[in-house]
Amino acid sequence: MGVQSRLFGTDGIRGRAHEEPLTPPTVTAFGRAVAVKFGRPGHPVVIGRDTRASGPILEDAVAAGVSSMGVDVLLVGVVPTPAIAFLTRHLHGCAGIVISASHNPFEDNGLKIFNADGLKCDDALELEIEALILDKTLRPSDLAGVKPGRIESWPSAATEYVELAVKAYGHDLDLRGIKVVVDAGHGAAYQTTPLVLRRLGAEALVLNDTPDGKNINAGCGSTHPDLMQKTVPDFQADIGLAHDGDADRLICCDETGSLLDGDEMLAIIGLDLLQRGKLAQKTMVATVMSNLGLDECFAAAGGKILRAAVGDRYVLEQMLTHNLNLGGEQSGHVILRDCNTTGDGLVTALQLLRIMKTSGQPLSRLRQCMKKYPQLLVNLKVHERIPLDELPEVMDTVKAVESELGTSGRVLLRYSGTEPKIRLLVETKDQALLQPVADRILAPIRKLLAP
């Protein structure tokens, strides 16, 4: 087993804003560490953020740290996480930093890193960066004679990114006649996704696009899509699109208001690429959380699925290792590597719209390609992340359940990489078994770990 990171989770550093590790001194040390690991003369670190009230303060701290090491900084303001991956490559930056806590409430924030190729750091590199931060080996007193890097702002970055995105992702896509409802979740895509859709000819009704620093993800967006679902049939829209706070994921609904998760979107996109001969090695990557129905529908079409650990960077690692161009998560992170190097809610939306347009079929028909096994996902807050193999009562219960289910179901138990929660997934062919199985496993967990 590798060394456990103290700061980094499955998607960067995350926590309560203005508390460790997201205090200005530690965030400044983070900026210095990034500059040391990635800095190159003449190539800036591109820094973007979502709409949280804490974003500007953390942005200043990161920029100060990077600049103090003699590395230039380009501040692009509020843009989606995938836009930073795109812009870092487009602008020949040495690295990209995103200040966001994704789907978490506004009180939280986080830090993510992209390298010059728009790829997230692997575990080993994160540990090296963490060591520089925690050991505090990079102090201003050590920098005598170093000329600070320039810090420049790009106020029009969001609108200019829209033009770049239209050319890169939608150059041959005509969405005239398509009606779309967008729930921006008061997050980073509140300007960009609606602008791209309208530039391509779609009629877009936008919900939750007035961020005030505190309303990001508040009863809206991909984690609370109820309003979107209701609005789509009322607006007679063809599709509803809901982003999380940094818009690297997408949850959508069909024209009836019925939700699709990431597995269903992967099935639609993957089968389309497979049928057109555009899916590399006839294989895509999903995670251990993905529904077994995805494997079945893909196998029936002559395709193959590889499983990765939870986290879009682990999906991408598998894609890079096996030279694949499609992968994703049930949560709505979908990576279309021919377009971008990370989960991208906008790219996913445009791909679905392209398939709808070219096939002439509504989303409610397209989704029928996959029959899902019944699943139950439970998130339980915990007071401590005790390694599961040190909880014999819990693991013995899991093993007993797995033995009884055999090949007709499965159980997946893991800690969240971004929140103080344990996640339980139960999947069975018999829906009536879901809740009893979950209750049986959760009983010892609540006794041992519940706050």
Alpha carbon distance 317, 203 (integer Å): 37
pLDDT band at 1 (very low <50, low <70, confident <90, very high): very low
Residue 56, pLDDT above cutoff 60: yes
Is the sign of the CA dihedral 165, 359, 233, 103 positive or negative?
negative
Give per-residue pLDDT as tens, 202-224: 999 999 999 999 999 999 999 99
Lowest mean per-residue pLDDT among 4-8, 15-19, 175-179, 337-341: 4-8
Alpha carbon distance 248, 234 (integer Å): 27
Average pLDDT, the chain: 94
What is residue 141's three-state secondary structure? helix
Residue 145, pLDDT above cutoff 80: no
207, 41 contact by CB (below 8 A): no
Are domains 260-342+364-369 and 375-449 of this chain identical in fold? no
- Residue 443 is predicted with a pLDDT of 94
Residue 143, pLDDT above cutoff 70: no
**Which residue in the list 68, 100, 102, 331 is annotated as catalytic?**
102
For residue 222, give the DSSP letter: G
Architecture of domain 260-342+364-369: 3-Layer(aba) Sandwich (3.40)
Architecture of domain 8-155: 3-Layer(aba) Sandwich (3.40)
- % residues pLDDT > 90 (the chain): 86
Q: What tokens appear for 225 in the block?
A: 């899509």
CATH for 375-449 is 3.30.310.50
Give per-residue pLDDT as tens, 412-422: 999 987 788 99
Q: What tokens appear for 249 in the block?
A: 């994921």
Give per-residue pLDDT as tens, 254-269: 999 999 999 999 999 9
Q: Across the beta sheet with 108-115, what order do the strands follow?
A: 8-9, 12-16, 108-115, 95-99, 45-49, 73-78, 151-153
- Residue 46 is predicted with a pLDDT of 98
Main-chain dihedrals φ then ψ at residue 261, nearest 5 degrees: -95, -175
pLDDT band at 139 (very low <50, low <70, confident <90, very high): low
| pTM for this entry | 0.89
Domain ranges of the chain: 8-155, 160-258, 260-342+364-369, 375-449
The domain over range 160-258 is classified in CATH as 3.40.120.10: yes
pLDDT band at 136 (very low <50, low <70, confident <90, very high): low
Residue 24, CA atoms < 13 Å, CB-side half-sphere: 8
Q: Select the more confidently predicted residue: 45 or 372.
A: 45
| Catalytic residue list contains 416 | no
Kindly provide the b/e burial profile for residues 259-294, where b requires at least 16 CB atoms within 10 angstroms of the residue's own CB: ebbbbbbbbbbbbbbbeeeebeeebbbbbebbbbbb
Span 246-253, average pLDDT: 97
Main-chain dihedrals φ then ψ at residue 374, nearest 5 degrees: -60, 135
